[in-house]
Amino acid sequence: MTKRVYNFSAGPAVLPVPVLEEIQQNLMSLPGVGMSVLEISHRSGTFQQIIDEADTLFRKLLSVSDDYEILFLQGGATMQFSMVPANLMIPDKGADYVLTGTWSQKALKEAKKVGTARTSASSEKEGFNRIPAQGELEINPSSSYLHYTSNNTIFGTEFDYVPDAGSVPLVVDVSSDFLSRPFDVARHGLIYAGAQKNVGPAGVTVVLIRKDLLERVPANLPTMMDYGEMAKGKSLLNTPPTFCIYAVGLVLKWIDSLGGLAEMEKRNIEKAQLLYSAIDGSSGYYRGHAKTESRSRMNIPFRLPSEDLEKKFLKEATAAGFDGLKGHRSVGGLRASIYNAFPKEGVEALVSFMKEFQTTNG
Ligand SMILES: *Cc1c(COP(=O)(O)O)cnc(C)c1O
């Protein structure tokens, strides 16, 4: 086998090795089926079993009640920026959006094409380096919903609380921290995530929607954008991304076998603390972007004393087997994304590399 590098990419991102091994082992033929998962019909009993298992595992890991539909859709999380307002915005009532970074800005922009979308709170003036507190959120009591982004992939901030919106349904984009910690589904009306950050390969988007919200769906939506139609069709209205759903199912099995979301959270806290301690212990050589109280456990952007040093760091890190550390252009510097499947040894190795680099280039 060729050597695997430490993959710090923000997404598509690292997958668990046992998942990749199982895919490889069964790629020519699923046991007892005689065909590859890439070749089977989405109308076959085999695929029905695959999608049912994924549904069951999501329900188990997240304690999802029967009040929710779980949908496997396409178009990425970005498609949800349009589908959420198209399906859930009640004419004249509008919706409220918490702005914590690029992704929520994009979500707001799409919502404005559908109706009145208001900014509930924003940390834009501070360079999106923190999560607004509950007390800063302005929530219109008759709003169709309140939308927030649980983890900000680019700016490296993460909600450590579920906003209280009273009787206004909560909608959340969990694309970059889905299944990284226990999550209170029951407090949300709709939850969505592109799979490629923490849950599987690119190509499938998971949506959990409380069934009563389906009553809001207007009659004239394009079928492929209609949550009601997708729910009625059990995500099989047309050909779904069969391979992606299979791979997501394997990732869910992997999480379950390790002890579920509480264990994921424990590991993610450990990994994030290692990296944040290295940043905090560098006497200001490394500087994190996020305010301490808003720090993400998944995406950790950081700067060095100069852009020249950042370039040198990136070059030497890549040569040493650390891939995907280049920061997003809107923050600059470096970014380490350390999702569920990212190994603790990789974080330890990066921390050693950072210490050595500082000693040599301090
Ligand atoms: C990556 C990302 C998106 C966009 O996802 P696509 O699947 O590429 O559309 C949206 N929201 C968040 C929080 C993300 O991290």
Cβ(153) – ligand 1 distance below 6 Å: yes
Nearest CA to ligand 1 atom 5: 77
SS3 call for 354 = helix
Ligand 1 centroid to 262 CA: how many Å? Answer: 24
Catalytic residue flag (residue 173) = yes
**Three state DSSP letters for 23-34:** HHHCCCCCCCCC
pLDDT digits (tens, 9 = 90+) for 44-81: 999 999 999 999 999 999 999 999 999 999 999 999 99
**pTM of this structure:** 0.98
Cα 255 to Cα 3: distance, rounded to the nearest angstrom: 24
Any ligand 1 atom below 6 A from CB of 194: yes
Q: Please give the pLDDT value at position 22.
A: 98
∠ CA 211-217-221, nearest 5°, is: 135
Residue 239 backbone zone (phi > 0: left; psi -120 to 50: alpha; other: beta): beta
Q: How far apart are the first and last CA of the chain?
A: 37
Rg, Å, the chain Cα set: 21
Nearest residue (CA) to ligand 1, atom 2: 175
> Does the beta carbon of 103 sit less than 6 angstroms from any atom of ligand 1?
yes
Nearest-atom index, ligand 1, CA of 76: 7
Selected catalytic residue, list 55, 96, 177, 197:
197
From residue 147, give the alpha-carbon distance in Å to each of 119, 122, 164, 168: 10, 12, 12, 10
Q: How many CB atoms lie within 10 A of CB 361?
A: 15
CA dihedral of 292, 293, 296, 302, whole degrees rounded to 10: -20
- Please give the number of the atom of ligand 1 that sits closest to the Cα of 176: 15
The predicted structure's pLDDT at residue 1: 55
Ligand 1 near 197 CB (within 6 A): yes
Q: Does residue 149's CB lie within 6 angstroms of at least one atom of ligand 1?
A: yes
C-beta 78 within 6 A of ligand 1: yes
**Domains in the chain, ordered, with CATH?**
18-258 (3.40.640.10), 261-361 (3.90.1150.10)
φ, ψ of residue 183 in degrees (nearest 5): -140, 135
Q: What is the pLDDT of residue 3?
A: 86
- Say how many C-beta atoms besides its own lie within 10 A of residue 34's C-beta: 10
Mutate to test the pocket of ligand 1, among 100, 152, 153 (most ligand atoms within 8 A of CB): 153
Active site residue 254: no
Spatial separation of the C-alpha atoms in residues 255 and 19, rounded to whole Å: 10
d(CA 167, CA 195): 29
Positions in the chain short of pLDDT 50: none
Instruction: Identify any residues that bridge with 209 across adjacent strands, giving them in sequence order.
Output: 69, 190
